[in-house]
Structure 1
């Protein structure tokens, strides 16, 4: 039996989740919805919505917080784009990627299409994380040409929705194999410095995973031995403890809308300024010593788009210093790109490779920040930025993040209604959340 078949057999035998995994899954759903509230109103989110309807057609499944309706695949694509667009969605250290932006929209689209599936939704999401994250983690991340999420999240989406709809092990195995075989390559991922809406190809991979599931149902055969190549995948990582040691319990959450690899410098700069009662205006130079993958970010001091800004350590520190941390939750103000104070501060930042920091990746994403104020220099090493399992964001922090994201993009009554629905979801009732997500967004009076 091939590994893809073993995975499918184990997955289909799952009946429910342990309480700790169920709790973790509900936090991930909250976080994905929070990210989508703001992401759906961005130019990329709107383009994904309109393009999804044009590509997959009209249907009965809502594109979240809009009047648009598409097919299950089309809505999953658009909602996935909304979650991923601002780079404030969840992730997992062992996979170096972002499962929630794919798995949560895929499962909820299926439940929107068939509300009788709602009682199975939380377990389905956990299964999608479990399969996708294990496939990602089974590779040697340090040797990969890119760690984009689109290479593996579609396989998680296929497994999640396959289990949700009670499909056979054979169908799920074929869908996982097919989704992995034709996953987005994203050849420019480690090269491009042009901000764009493709980003990590998460929506494309999500749609591909669901399409692979439909094809598998129709008898479309895939290379079932895709995960048996020991040169690429670790069989023990894929199978040992599968659906027992739930990986969704060790996801991280992001307090700022930028690449996770930038969060340690942000936390470090805030701590240095607070601990020493410094003014940002006193700073004359900043040095960041970090791991190799962080050096592959564009790190432009003057990015030309907000998407590019999400991948720049100097620019994000410039935003933090001149506008405060709230400007990063989310980073949607186009004026930031031309703000001379932001650009001036960003020009003070230099980024360097550090072999010690690099030795911790991918298990950790640390940085050491050294802040010079004239003749004085202060340093701080951050091993676990806020949101890591060892430095967690609990329910209160995640609801605080929801408010920060929703308050400027939803009218207060609609925000309150969505907040109540998320509370209901936390307690086990998904129906109110589905209803609120199907309502068009009403923006607050400016």
Structure 2
């Protein structure tokens, strides 16, 4: 018998969380905080914090500090600012089956709820809330993509998971949790992802509105506001049949080595391999052919003018890897967008809409790269899916290196090291130590 999602959210206990799930939550904690650190320096984050402060001041729901900023807003305001901040650098955890991201909304929202809570939370409490947020978000996302004609942003389905998890933080009943999910789903942003692919701006993946929509839904449900059913939770039973037994969070979460759209990653992996294997220099490159699936070819981006256009491109990040050999913090600097060597290579990248890759890119993202040199040589790589997926996972060391690459220049090595120590064991922390971890993550650099 299928476990009702509201019963799952109300009754889930730390003892129910299997070790592989806890491993994912710890990795995502560290990974998300590294992205949040570097993203907190972006114009998008600064604008989002100012906007949230103008709309969502402290209320009787309590005060929550904004992630990597420190100013206090309402829980919904802190969730909005924090989610927009994480989403400002497209390097957070991802789920290919849902074609989106959960952690960029779930972490800021639940950290805001924890910060505003009258009862200090310990790490086990927070692990339960994260598990609810991730698992319900993923399943809602799968149901939505299977039943809706449009490709909606992650904010549309993370609003549902965040609503259920926030309702659990508030101690609501199963029926109230059911209504919270329905409210979150109904009012969550049904924003069209391909619009941002075609016209990249700061709207990004919709989590900046999905996170506060979910939190607001929980508070409304507490006061008696009704909104059930959440259709993605109750009218697509095939995605919920093993809830509480199987864990989509374990199966579907992957990590991104590069700060740009996941659809570009197999091509970036491929050129990194070809350049190294054949000892090529960017001066030798005459042309780069990328065969990939249809939607990825809409990530053109040969000459991005903004960080948003960089995030939703293939040609320019591929050229950056060819020229620089990495896509790290320095490559996020504005001057990278005018690098003449990168621009030259980017201009000779050809994107090929391949029917075969479009057919097989269901739950996976495929690409094949061929490099042509000025002296007539041709180097063709095998078809690839992105590094970081479950079949080619990043190691703990690689997650750690990525975290420090992003966090150390912003936070300083000592603070970053303390965050790493606590985040990678957060579920074992008592209330005092977990409060310390929140302090480290919720104050300005």
Distance change in 2, residues 1:317/1:414 (3 Å): same
Cα distance per residue 1:269-288 (max 9 Å; x no partner) = 01111112222221111111
Contact 1:266 1:320 in 2 (8 A): yes
Contact 1:53 1:74 in 2 (8 A): yes
Contact 1:255 1:329 in 2 (8 A): no
Query: Pick from 420, 431, 435: which aligns with 2:435?
Result: 431
Contact 2:291 2:354 in 1 (8 A): yes
Q: Determine the C-alpha separation between the residues in 2 that align with 1:100 and 1:19.
A: 19
Q: Deviation at 1:142?
A: 10
Q: Deviation at 1:311?
A: 1.0
* Superposed counterparts of 1:6-405, under 5 Å: 6-16=4-14, 17-58=17-58, 60-114=63-117, 116-118=120-122, 119-140=124-145, 144-187=149-192, 189-190=194-195, 193-224=198-229, 226-227=231-232, 234-237=236-239, 239-250=240-251, 251-297=253-299, 299-325=300-326, 327-329=327-329, 331-373=331-373, 374-405=375-406
Q: Deviation at 1:202?
A: 0.5
Distance change in 2, residues 1:225/1:47 (3 Å): closer
Q: Deviation at 1:143?
A: 7.1
Q: SS in structure 1 opposite 2:288?
A: strand
Q: Determine the C-alpha separation between the residues in 1 that align with 2:230 and 2:425.
A: 42
Distance change in 2, residues 1:328/1:136 (3 Å): same
Q: Deviation at 1:309?
A: 0.8
Q: Deviation at 1:330?
A: 6.8
Distance change in 2, residues 1:322/1:276 (3 Å): closer
Q: SS in structure 2 opposite 1:409?
A: helix
Q: Determine the C-alpha separation between the residues in 1 that align with 2:428 and 2:275.
A: 40
Cα distance per residue 1:32-74 (max 9 Å; x no partner) = 1111011111111111112212111146321123241111111
Q: SS in structure 2 opposite 1:381?
A: coil
Contact 1:76 1:203 in 2 (8 A): yes
Cα distance per residue 1:116-149 (max 9 Å; x no partner) = 2333111110111110100111244597422411
Q: Determine the C-alpha separation between the residues in 1 that align with 2:415 and 2:145.
A: 44
Q: Determine the C-alpha separation between the residues in 2 that align with 1:382 and 1:405.
A: 29
Q: Deviation at 1:194?
A: 4.0
Larger RCO: 1 or 2 (CA < 8 Å, sep 6+): 2
Cα distance per residue 1:82-137 (max 9 Å; x no partner) = 21111101111211110001111111111111252333111110111110100111
Q: Deviation at 1:435?
A: 1.9
Q: Determine the C-alpha separation between the residues in 2 that align with 1:24 and 1:187.
A: 28
Q: Deviation at 1:155?
A: 0.5
Q: Deviation at 1:382?
A: 4.2
Q: SS in structure 1 opposite 2:182?
A: helix
Q: Which position in structure 2 is the counterpart of 1:444?
A: none
Q: State which drifts further: 7-16 or 100-109.
A: 7-16
Q: Determine the C-alpha separation between the residues in 1 that align with 2:96 and 2:246.
A: 15
Q: Determine the C-alpha separation between the residues in 1 that align with 2:94 and 2:193.
A: 21
Q: State which drifts further: 193-202 or 152-161.
A: 193-202
Q: Determine the C-alpha separation between the residues in 1 that align with 2:329 and 2:396.
A: 17
Q: What is the TM-score with the length of structure 1 in the denominator?
A: 0.91
Q: SS in structure 2 opposite 1:284?
A: strand
Distance change in 2, residues 1:187/1:94 (3 Å): closer
Gaps spanning 5+ residues in structure 2: where? none
Q: Determine the C-alpha separation between the residues in 1 that align with 2:311 and 2:171.
A: 39
Distance change in 2, residues 1:147/1:331 (3 Å): farther
Contact 1:52 1:74 in 2 (8 A): yes
Gaps spanning 5+ residues in structure 1: where? 442-446
Aligned pairs, number:
433
Distance change in 2, residues 1:143/1:368 (3 Å): farther
Q: Determine the C-alpha separation between the residues in 2 that align with 1:274 and 1:263.
A: 17
Cα distance per residue 1:276-324 (max 9 Å; x no partner) = 2222221111111101221232x12111101111111111112112223
